[in-house]
Amino acid sequence: MDFEFWWLIGFPVFFGLGWLAARIDIKQLLTESRSVPRTYFKGLNFLLNEQPDKAIEAFIEVVKVDPETVDLHFALGSLFRRRGETERAIRMHKNLYERSDLGAEQRVQAMFELGQDYLKAGLLDRAEEVFVKLEKGPQRIEAARFLLEIYQQEKEWQAAIGVARALERDTGQSWQKEIAEFHCEMAAVEATHSRPDAARGLLEEALRANRKCVRASILLGDLDAAAGRHREAIDHWKRVETQNPVFLALVAHRLLKSFQALGDTATGLTLLRGYLTAHPSLDLLDVAFQSTLDAEGADAAYRLVRDELRRTPTLLGLDKLLEAQVLAAPAERRHDLELVRNLVQGQTRRLARYRCENCGFRARQFYWQCPACMAWETYPPRRTEEFDLTP
């Protein structure tokens, strides 16, 4: 390729143009950085150092100096909400939403933030009104999730079912477990008001939504047992083993009572012991122990607990073993055994709790919906000690 002498002139020109462009960019950057108040950077520094109180004070000063900082208004409103200052958060986001110069996208964002403020403040009706308006916009999935939370708090189960089905269509995620639980909630209300037929229909809907819904099987068994149909009730409760055997502890006492009503306690005890062998559980052991104690005496109850303790050593199991020994021991030995049992019980109180598999919340009572994270069926009837023994 031939060398052109004019290139010698072009190189300095191109270099000069590049230098000039860089100077312009640097000058613009310096101008913009000077236009940002120093208090803004102080606020960011406080946030990075996890000092939200000082960060809020700094950002409020920035907003006073430059009220046009929309993004900072959003950030400040969110900080207020996180700190529990919902009135200030509501005022901040409401003022943003009512600004005439706000763009359409920012207006939707302001409405979305305002809905969260209302929800945090416990103003469920206002929050619901906001999220319903957002259901057909770009924030529809997030709005639907918040609506689902609101309807569950208000126990508006039919509305919750509608939102859950909409979420299934929009996200492709299954909500059948939750939908089945919503039907069970409605069925429980119908049963409480002595409307068994309506309750049965809702429970069948629950099983159509989720064939592994343990709660539906339990409640169907309860309806049949209350009507004196004990064989049908037993069939419903026995289905729990195929749905989720962890929940057998919830039907153990029910099964035994129905077998007793049929005059066949021995078959009920045999069934419970079989469950205990196949699916060890401290709550199941408790029912089997008490039932064996009542039907066959302290020696048989002692042998049952001893064999289970050899297979699965637990402090809660040891407590039952000591209880059986106290009952079977002569009077002169009972005081010493009771002393040992009291010491063991002092250690087992903290272990005799249920724990949510989703968030780890612990309580002495069993829940279908975790009170902490509000997730359904994450609270199995397994004691804390059993979780610790699980590999």
For the chain, the average pLDDT equals: 78
Q: How confident is the model at residue 145 (pLDDT cuts 50, 70, 90)?
A: very high
> What pLDDT score does 184 carry?
97
Q: How confident is the model at residue 20 (pLDDT cuts 50, 70, 90)?
A: very low
> What pLDDT score does 335 carry?
67
What is the mean predicted confidence (pLDDT) over 330-339? 65
Are residues 112 and 134 in contact, defined by beta-carbon separation less than 8 angstroms? yes
What is the mean predicted confidence (pLDDT) over 12-36? 44
Are residues 141 and 170 in contact, defined by beta-carbon separation less than 8 angstroms? yes
The lowest-confidence range among 5-9, 28-32, 61-65 is 28-32
Is the pLDDT confidence value at 354 over 50? yes
What are 181-212's pLDDT values in tens digits? 999 999 999 999 999 999 999 999 999 999 99
> What pLDDT score does 329 carry?
65
Is the pLDDT confidence value at 254 over 90? yes
Question: Rounded to whole angstroms, what are the CA distances from 244 to 117, 238, 272, 314, 391?
Answer: 39, 11, 16, 23, 19
Question: Rounded to whole angstroms, what are the CA distances from 226 to 11, 183, 204, 264?
Answer: 97, 20, 18, 18
Q: Which of 293, 340, 283, 273 is nearest to 317 (CA)?
A: 283
* Position with higher pLDDT, 357 vs 264: 264
What is the mean predicted confidence (pLDDT) over 52-61? 53
> What pLDDT score does 191 carry?
95
Separation CA 206–CA 213 (nearest Å)? 7
Separation CA 26–CA 371 (nearest Å)? 55
> What pLDDT score does 12 carry?
53
Helices 214-226 + 196-209 axis angle, to 10: 160
> What pLDDT score does 13 carry?
46
Separation CA 333–CA 234 (nearest Å)? 42
Is the pLDDT confidence value at 35 over 80? no
What is the share, in percent, of the chain residues with pLDDT greater than 70? 69
**What is the pTM (predicted TM-score) of this model?**
0.74
The lowest-confidence range among 23-27, 158-162, 220-224, 312-316 is 23-27
What are 228-245's pLDDT values in tens digits? 999 999 999 999 999 999
The lowest-confidence range among 16-25, 49-58, 161-170 is 16-25
Q: How confident is the model at residue 387 (pLDDT cuts 50, 70, 90)?
A: very low
* Position with higher pLDDT, 11 vs 204: 204
What are 62-111's pLDDT values in tens digits? 444 444 566 767 777 787 788 888 888 888 788 777 777 777 888 888 88
Separation CA 342–CA 337 (nearest Å)? 9
Question: How long a stretch of residues is the chain?
Answer: 391
* Position with higher pLDDT, 320 vs 22: 320
Kindly list the domain boundaries of the chain, sorted by start residue: 351-391
Buried b (16+ CB within 10 A) or exposed e, 57-87: ebbebbbeeeeebbebbbbbbbbbbeeebbe
